[in-house]
């Protein structure tokens, strides 16, 4: 699960485009640009929606009438970012970010608060606050595979039926085996390590070997390269780093800035999706 966001362009507001089909059902409000077709017209609704979608896609120079669309972060990333905002001042210091940063897909940040939200983001970037982060990295490339604050754990892979859970915490990397015992599900540690080898046994079977103890565990799930089938050994490690969350979330902050500037330009809200 992840978050994205967009801002509708102002081409319709400025009369730069032809009127939409089925204008009597046309709506442009905090929910965006859409048709609201009553039930008595449902027989022709599919055709009407298709005509409207075609108009919306081609009415102006902006695809789907979106001035800007940004991929933001995962659900966990947004949760941690919101938590960072709370730690450094929360509602008292950052009232708009506290209220309007998304907790779930859907909703808006109203245009009337865009300037204040942008000012808050600029201040947030300068926060000197630091925290310890636990990171899972591939040893040679130093690619970041997962991260979490060092005072919490982060489950980042669940296998089918949640039989196995891959997670990291400040103690290292863990593979937990969930076993049903009566009415309870008991998690047992199948493998744990701070530095280990991921060795491919076949295209769909992998051996994890702790580099200190030699303890091993065989799994049908690999963790690196992400989205690819491993064809060689990889050394993977758990490390800690002291960093500024403002630097960790610089990509998200820059995307939010662009969205807020677009909202200020058009007078239209940011839509969270």
| pLDDT for position 127 | 95
Instruction: Say yes or no: 136 and 239 in one domain.
Output: yes
Instruction: Say yes or no: 239 and 151 in one domain.
Output: yes
Instruction: Say yes or no: 235 and 137 in one domain.
Output: yes
pTM of the model: 0.79
Averaged in consecutive runs of 10 residues, what is the pLDDT profile of the chain (273 residues)?
94 94 92 91 90 95 96 92 95 98 95 98 95 97 94 94 97 98 96 99 98 98 96 98 92 98 98 96
Dihedral of CA atoms 223, 227, 233, 235 in degrees, nearest 10, equals -50
Helix/strand/coil (H/E/C) assignment for every residue in 17-64 = CCCCCCHHHEEEECCEEEECCCHHHHHHHHHHHHHHHHHHHHCCCCHH
Instruction: Say yes or no: 156 and 235 in one domain.
Output: yes
Q: Are strands 270-272 and 108-109 parallel, antiparallel or unpaired?
A: antiparallel
Cis before 225? omega within 30: yes
Q: Which domain holds residue 254?
A: 69-129+245-272
- The answer to whether the beta carbons of residues 235 and 140 sit under 8 Å apart is yes
| pLDDT for position 76 | 84
For the chain, how many structural domains are there in total?
2
Instruction: Say yes or no: 114 and 169 in one domain.
Output: no
Instruction: Say yes or no: 118 and 173 in one domain.
Output: no
| pLDDT for position 44 | 85
| pLDDT for position 42 | 82
Angle, CA 222 vertex, CA 221 and CA 223 arms, to 5°: 125
Token representation of residue 60: 């102006």
Bridge partners of residue 199, in order along the sequence: 207
Tell which residue, 244, 228, 245, 87, has the closest CA to residue 145.
228
Instruction: Say yes or no: 209 and 252 in one domain.
Output: no
| pLDDT for position 30 | 84
Instruction: Say yes or no: 229 and 194 in one domain.
Output: yes
| pLDDT for position 162 | 96
Radius of gyration of the chain, Cα coordinates, nearest whole angstrom? 24
> What letter does residue 162 receive in the DSSP assignment?
G
| pLDDT for position 43 | 86
- The answer to whether the beta carbons of residues 200 and 179 sit under 8 Å apart is no
Exposed (0-12), middle (13-18) or buried (19+): which is 185, by Cβ within 10 Å? exposed
- Is residue 31 assigned to a domain? no
| pLDDT for position 263 | 98
SS3 98: helix
- Is residue 54 assigned to a domain? no
- Is residue 1 assigned to a domain? no
| pLDDT for position 6 | 98
Tell which residue, 215, 196, 217, 195, has the closest CA to residue 206.
217
Residues of 47-85 as b/e, b for ≥16 C-beta within 10 angstroms? Answer: ebbeebeebbeebbebebbbbbbbebbeebbbebbbebb
- Is residue 11 assigned to a domain? no
| pLDDT for position 11 | 96
């Amino acid at each position: 699960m992840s978050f994205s966001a967009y801002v509708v362009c102002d081409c319709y507001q400025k009369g730069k485009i032809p009127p939409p089909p089925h204008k009597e059902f046309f709506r442009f409000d905090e929910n965006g640009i859409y048709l609201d077709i009553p039930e008595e017209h449902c027989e022709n609704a599919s055709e009407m929606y298709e005509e409207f979608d075609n108009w919306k896609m081609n009415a102006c120079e902006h695809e789907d009438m979106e001035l800007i669309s940004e991929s933001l972060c995962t659900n966990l990333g947004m949760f941690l970012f919101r938590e960072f905002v709370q730690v450094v001042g929360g509602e008292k210091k950052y009232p708009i970010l506290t209220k309007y940063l998304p907790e779930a897909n859907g909703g808006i940040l109203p245009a009337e608060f865009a300037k204040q939200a942008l000012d808050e983001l600029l201040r947030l970037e300068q926060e000197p606050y630091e925290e310890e982060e636990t990171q899972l990295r591939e040893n040679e490339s130093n690619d970041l595979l997962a991260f979490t604050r060092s005072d919490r754990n982060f489950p980042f892979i669940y296998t089918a039926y949640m039989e196995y859970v891959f997670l990291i915490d400040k103690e290292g990397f863990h593979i937990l085996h969930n076993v049903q015992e009566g009415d309870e599900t008991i998690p047992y540690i199948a493998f744990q390590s701070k530095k280990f080898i991921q060795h491919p046994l076949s295209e769909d079977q992998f051996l994890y070997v702790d580099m200190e103890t030699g303890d091993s565990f065989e799994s049908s799930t690999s963790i690196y390269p992400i989205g690819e089938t491993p064809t060689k050994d990889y050394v993977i490690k758990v490390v800690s780093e002291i960093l500024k969350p403002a630097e960790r979330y610089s990509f998200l902050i820059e995307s939010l800035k662009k969205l807020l500037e677009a909202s200020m330009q058009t007078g239209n809200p940011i839509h969270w999706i």
